[in-house]
Amino acid sequence: MKTAGGTDAAKRRAGERAAEEVEDGDVVALGTGSTTAYAIEAIGEAVGDGLEVQGIPTSFQSRQLALEVGIPLTDLDAVETVDLAIDGADQVVDDADSPAHGALVKGGGAAHAREKLVDAAAERFVVVADPTKLADALERSVPIEVLPDAHSVVADRLSELGGDPTLRDAERKDGPVVTDNGNLVLDCEFGRIDNPDALAARLSRLPGVVEHGLFVDLADATYVGLEDGVEVREY
Ligand X SMILES: O=C(CO)[C@H](O)[C@H](O)COP(=O)(O)O
Q: Taking the CB of residue 58, how many other CB atoms lie within 10 A of it?
A: 28
Q: List binding-site positions for substrate.
A: 32-35, 87-90, 106-109, 133
Q: Taking the CB of residue 120, how many other CB atoms lie within 10 A of it?
A: 14
**DSSP H/E element including 91:** strand 91-93
| Count of residues of this chain found to bind ligand X when the rule CB under 6 A is applied | 19
* Binding flag, residue 163, ligand X (CB under 6 A): no
Sheet architecture: strand order including 122-129 = 54-57, 27-30, 82-87, 122-129, 221-226, 229-234
Q: How far is CA 35 from the centre of its chain?
A: 10
Binding mask 12-51 for ligand X (x = CB under 6 A): -------------------xxxxxx---------------
* Binding flag, residue 107, ligand X (CB under 6 A): yes
Among 16, 41, 115, 145, the one annotated catalytic: 115
Q: Which listed residue (41, 83, 90, 119) binds ligand X by CB under 6 A?
A: 90
* Binding flag, residue 109, ligand X (CB under 6 A): yes
Q: Taking the CB of residue 96, how many other CB atoms lie within 10 A of it?
A: 9
Q: Is 115 a catalytic residue?
A: yes
Residues with catalytic roles? 115
Binding site for ligand X (CB under 6 A): 4, 31-36, 87-90, 106-112, 115
